[in-house]
Amino acid sequence: MNVENSVLNYKDLKIIQNNEMFNFCIDSVLLARFWKPSKKFQSIIDFGTNNAIIPLLLSKYTKAKIVGVEIQNEACEIAIKNIELNKLSDQIQIINDDIKNFAKNKNNEFDLLFCNPPFFKVAKNSNLNKRSELLTPARHEVFIKLEEIIESAKIALKNGGRLLMIHLSERLDEIIYILKKNNFAIKRMQFVYSKKNQDAKRVLIEAINDGNDGMKILTPLYIHNSDGSYKKDILEKFGD
């Protein structure tokens, strides 16, 4: 397959992207920065890593070993190139596998799990991306559904391990139900808005495997000022 790749420079990282696939976006930054770095997390996994953007971002804040799992061969090839380009092969490993299959043999192995999953369910009237068969699985639940992601996270995480996820706020009731069903306790939640006086677009969630009840709703996060420019605290997440 012929692909058009570009290289993005961000935080001293060189990130290869394919314009027909998932690209670097603010969701990845928000999810990576939602975590409070700590040395107690020594084994980290990213479900659906695509071009390894989240492991690359995390490498700026931790020396822990990081595994990225991705089902698409083309995405894995780019992810591996990104790891090698940034000389992070000793810290980050990319696995080309279905998340559901991978989790079967990784029982209670990881301290921390990140996931920026496909947001949209697939139905008869789904508006699938016709331009790129590579982009569709990153946005739509073609290969894995939300419930399967959380079930796989339940297997892969240690007792007390943490799941960090970003998703559509409109699916929050479903997310809470599935997390509770799998005995995850939500500890922190933050709604993400494009601008003030608009509905929330995203929600950031941190949940603990077999954790105790008790949840904090954090201050809302606004991305843009009224003129469309980025808010100061958002720029700080990109810059520091």
* pLDDT score, position 235: 86
Domain hosting 176: range is 13-236
- What token pair was written down for 229? 């420019």
Whether 43 is covered by a domain: the verdict is yes
- What token pair was written down for 190? 């933050």
- How far is residue 205's CA from residue 98's CA, in Å, rounded to a whole number? 23
Whether 69 is covered by a domain: the verdict is yes
Whether 4 is covered by a domain: the verdict is no
**pLDDT of 10-53, one tens digit each?**
678 888 887 666 566 789 999 999 999 999 999 999 999 999 99
226: domain CATH number?
3.40.50.150
* pLDDT score, position 135: 60
As a whole-number percent, the residues of the chain with pLDDT over 90 amount to 73
Question: How much is the average pLDDT of 213-218?
Answer: 95
* pLDDT score, position 3: 47
Question: 172-181 vs 146-156: helix axis angle to the nearest 10?
Answer: 40
Whether 168 is covered by a domain: the verdict is yes
**Domain total for the chain?**
1
- Name the 3-class secondary structure at 197: coil
The DSSP bridge pattern shows strands 157-168 and 200-209 to be antiparallel
- Name the 3-class secondary structure at 113: strand
- Looking at per-residue confidence, does 131 or 54 come out higher? 54
Whether 5 is covered by a domain: the verdict is no
The pLDDT of residue 184 is above 70: yes
**pLDDT of 112-150, one tens digit each?**
999 999 877 876 665 555 445 556 666 767 889 999 999
